[in-house]
Amino acid sequence: MSSGYITFVEQFQRASFIELFVFSILLSLGLGIANALYNAFFHPLAPIPGPKLYAISPLPISWSRAQGTLPYKFAELHEKYGPIVRVGPGEVSCAGPTSFKDLYGPRYGKGGPLTRDSRAATVKEKFGAVGMFQAGVQEHAQIRRQLNPAFSEKASREQEPLVMGYINAMIQKLRNASAGGDAVDIEKYTMWATFDIQGDLVFGEDVFKCVEKEQYHPWIKISMAYFTSGVYTHALNDISPWALWIWQKFFIPKSFADAQEYHLRTTLDLVDKRMDTKETGHPDYMSFITSESKAGEVLTKEQMYANAQMLVTAGSETVATASATTLFLLLTHPEDMDRAKREIRSTFRSDQDITAASVVALPYLIAAIDESMRVWPPVATSFHPREVFSGGCVVDGYFIPQSSMIGIHNHAIGRLERYFKDAKSFVPERWLGDERYANDVREVFQPFSSGPLNCLGLTMGRMETRVILAKLIYSFDIELMPECRNWLDNQKNYIAWHKPPLMVKLTAA
- Residues 444/413, Cβ–Cβ less than 8 Å: yes
- Residues 446/480, Cβ–Cβ less than 8 Å: no
- Residues 445/137, Cβ–Cβ less than 8 Å: no
- Helix 137-147 vs helix 285-292: crossing angle, to nearest 10: 100
Residue 115 per-residue DSSP state: E
Which distant-in-sequence residues (6+ apart) come within 8 Å of 506 by Cβ? 174, 175, 178, 184, 186, 476, 477, 478, 479
Sign of the dihedral defined by the CA atoms of residues 105, 109, 110, 112, in that order: positive
Domain 125-376+455-508 has CATH 1.10.630.10: yes
User: How far, in Å, CA of 90 to CA of 5, rounded?
Assistant: 36
- Residues 406/92, Cβ–Cβ less than 8 Å: yes
Per-residue pLDDT tens listing for the chain (509 residues): 555 555 545 555 566 667 656 656 766 677 767 777 888 888 999 999 999 999 999 899 989 988 999 999 999 999 999 999 999 999 999 987 788 888 887 776 677 778 777 665 555 567 777 777 777 777 878 888 888 888 888 888 899 999 999 999 999 999 999 888 899 999 999 999 999 999 999 999 999 999 999 999 998 888 887 777 778 777 877 877 777 777 777 777 777 777 778 888 888 899 999 988 877 788 888 888 887 767 667 778 888 888 888 889 888 999 999 999 999 999 999 999 999 999 999 999 999 999 999 999 999 999 999 999 999 999 998 867 888 887 888 888 888 888 898 988 999 999 999 999 999 999 999 999 999 999 999 999 988 887 777 888 888 999 999 999 999 999 999 999 999 999 999 899 988 999 999 999 999 98
Kindly list the strands in the beta sheet with 184-185, ordered across the sheet, starting from the edge strand earlier in the chain. Answer: 184-185, 503-508, 476-480
Question: Residue type for 334, please?
Answer: P
Among the listed residues 369, 374, 327, 320, the one whose alpha carbon sits nearest the alpha carbon of residue 498: 320
- Residues 231/385, Cβ–Cβ less than 8 Å: no
pLDDT of residue 10: 55
Provide the b/e sequence for 319-345 (b: ≥16 CB within 10 Å). Answer: bbbbbbbbbbbbbbbeebbebbbebbe
- Residues 299/146, Cβ–Cβ less than 8 Å: yes
What is the separation of C-alpha 124 from the centre of its chain, rounded to a whole number of angstroms? 21
pLDDT of residue 455: 83
Give the Cβ contact number of residue 257 at 10 Å: 11
Number of residues that this document lists for the chain: 509
User: How far, in Å, CA of 355 to CA of 126, rounded?
Assistant: 40
What's the Rg (C-alpha) of the chain?
A: 25
Residue 202 per-residue DSSP state: H
Among the listed residues 435, 353, 389, the one whose alpha carbon sits nearest the alpha carbon of residue 116: 389
- Residues 184/143, Cβ–Cβ less than 8 Å: no
Confidence (pTM):
0.90
pLDDT of residue 12: 53
3-state SS, residue 394? strand
E strand segments, 27-118: 84-88, 91-94, 115-116
Domain boundaries, the chain: 125-376+455-508
Q: Are strands 405-408 and 91-94 parallel, antiparallel or unpaired?
A: parallel
3-state SS, residue 457? coil
User: How far, in Å, CA of 49 to CA of 51, rounded?
Assistant: 7
- Per DSSP, helices labelled H in 68-185 are 70-81, 99, 137-147, 153-178
